[in-house]
Amino acid sequence: MFSTADAPSRVGHLRAALLMPLALLALLVLAPLPALAKYASIVIDAKSGQVLHAANADTRNFPASLTKMMTLFMTFEALERGKLKLDQSLPVSARAEGMAPSKLGLRRGQTITVEECIRALATKSANDAAVVLAEAIGGTEIEFARMMTERARKLGMTRTTFRNASGLPNAGQLSTARDMARLAQALIQDQGKYYPYFNTRSFSFRGVTHRSHNRLMARYEGMDGLKTGYIRASGFNLVSSAVRDGRRLIGVVFGGETAAWRDNHMADLLDEAFNGTTTPMLVAAVGAAGRRAADMPVPSRKPDGSENDVASVVAAAAGAIASGAGELALAKPAIAGTLAAPNPAREPSGWGIQVGAFNNKAASQKAVASASERAPALLNAAIPHVVEVPTDGGRLYRARLMGLDEKSARTVCAQLSRAGLGCLTVPPAGR
């Protein structure tokens, strides 16, 4: 029994107990979904659109601040139509002020010019400036996002949906590496007048200088844009364009583990494409596996909603496997002189699997693609990685998929072994 004096307290506890499951359910429903592909990439010829490399290129993922490329595309079109002018002052709304970082720190009632907004998006990736542009063009950010999606469809971005102008986490805001390459191509070909804004190295606003998040642009020969992006759910993303010997390429990377890894991987992909050493038909098979796995459930991770492209320490190299243990060498002579020596600092961290080792890089890539097709649900989150190893007889190329946890690596290796595909688990550094 309890007294009437205890009744309010007991009722309150009961109400709290009943409401807690509802609150948890609401969090599950409203929380942004995880990325559908941890890793994806593509390299195309900017002029012809020819695909030179593709991996998971059509699997939908969170674009993060790559979204701002579309916001800027819409802004450039508004400038061309006369709806906006570069020196036009735009009002800052309460919504713009309330945006999460990265931002300029704009305050409601202030004004900022269209050109300042453009430079803020291209360098600082400022979310508040993105909302200012969205509201100036669409009236509201929601309407602007609808306009972005409609325009994307006309550009051929058939697997892209926008829900905001900044790229902050939203379960419905998804794109693909291929669609982002199409957008970059449109920015270069259709908005070439404004494309140099993507090459802005720094931007000063009200006494504060903001440096570009695109650090690779300062060290990669011929690179002159475009955009970085990061939220926890997507990893580190990058769209880049570079010109060498009169030829322009566009590269897209989704799901980098760190900013440094992403930048180094982009440099490798572009180098191979410029040198003509890519094998598009083989790596495209990985993309096919990714598409089949797109609807499989994956563990949820909560995005932090911020752009953070400060280069962090590159993951240590994964533990090496003795060259004679389970490695299959082909009779075909190794290809010499076309690839640089391996840089162990670029190997993704975490556990992985090795599905063979060959004296031909193309055969190693084919083995990675085959493994991805055999176990797409488990390997959709893995990062394809071919390790070049010097040997007395030439070179070996170890076919690996990295970035897994130990349980996933052992589970998928057992599954592949049962399917008749040789497999070894690869532990992280120090194991």
Q: Supply the pLDDT for residue 348.
A: 67
Claim to verify: residue 197 and residue 280 sit in the same structural domain: yes
Q: Supply the pLDDT for residue 104.
A: 92
- What is the spatial distance between Cα 197 and Cα 187, in angstroms, rounded to a whole number? 11
Claim to verify: residue 287 and residue 214 sit in the same structural domain: yes
* Percent with pLDDT over 90 in the chain: 43
Higher local confidence (pLDDT), 28 or 180: 180
Distances in whole angstroms, Cα of residue 358 to Cα of each of 110, 280, 412: 62, 18, 21
Q: Of 275, 293, 311, which residue is a domain's last?
A: 293
* Percent with pLDDT over 70 in the chain: 72
**3-state DSSP assignment of residue 85:** coil
**Residue whose C-alpha is closest to residue 253's, from 407, 37, 17:** 37
Query: Is 102 part of a structural domain of the chain?
Result: yes
Distances in whole angstroms, Cα of residue 250 to Cα of each of 30, 78, 226: 35, 25, 9
- Phi-psi bin for 160: left (phi > 0), alpha (psi -120 to 50), beta? beta
Claim to verify: residue 248 and residue 372 sit in the same structural domain: no
In terms of Cβ atoms closer than 10 Å to its own Cβ (0-12, 13-18, 19+), residue 191 is middle
- What is the spatial distance between Cα 366 and Cα 328, in angstroms, rounded to a whole number? 14
Q: Is the pLDDT of residue 214 over 80?
A: yes
Claim to verify: residue 374 and residue 264 sit in the same structural domain: no
Query: Is 193 part of a structural domain of the chain?
Result: yes
Produce one character per residue of 109-129: b if its CB has 16 or more CB atoms within 10 Å, e if not: ebebbbbbbbbbbbbbbbbbb
Per the structure, the count of domains in the chain is: 2
Window from 157-161, 173-177, 200-204, 299-303 with minimum mean pLDDT: 299-303
Query: Is 18 part of a structural domain of the chain?
Result: no
Question: What's the CATH code of the domain at 375?
Answer: 3.30.70.1070
Model confidence over 190-203: pLDDT tens digits? 998 999 999 888 88
Mean pLDDT of 119-144: 95
Query: Is 170 part of a structural domain of the chain?
Result: yes
Q: Supply the pLDDT for residue 328.
A: 29
pTM: 0.61
Q: Is the pLDDT of residue 376 over 90?
A: no
Claim to verify: residue 264 and residue 407 sit in the same structural domain: no
> What confidence tier does 176 reach under pLDDT thresholds 50, 70, 90?
very high
Query: Is 187 part of a structural domain of the chain?
Result: yes
Model confidence over 318-371: pLDDT tens digits? 232 222 222 222 222 222 222 233 333 355 678 889 988 888 887 887 787 777
Query: Is 72 part of a structural domain of the chain?
Result: yes
Q: Hey, which residues are catalytic here?
A: 65, 68, 125
Q: Supply the pLDDT for residue 359.
A: 84
Q: State the average pLDDT for the chain.
A: 76
Q: What helix, strand, coil percent values describe the chain, rounded to 5?
A: 40, 20, 40
Instruction: Kindly tell me the sign of the dihedral angle through the C-alpha atoms of 159, 161, 167, 168.
Output: negative
Mean pLDDT of 364-382: 71
Q: Is the pLDDT of residue 413 over 70?
A: yes
Residue span of the structural domain in which 410 resides: 344-426
Claim to verify: residue 270 and residue 350 sit in the same structural domain: no
Model confidence over 240-281: pLDDT tens digits? 999 999 999 999 999 988 888 899 999 999 999 998 865 443
Claim to verify: residue 154 and residue 269 sit in the same structural domain: yes
> What confidence tier does 18 reach under pLDDT thresholds 50, 70, 90?
very low
Claim to verify: residue 221 and residue 360 sit in the same structural domain: no
Q: Supply the pLDDT for residue 347.
A: 59
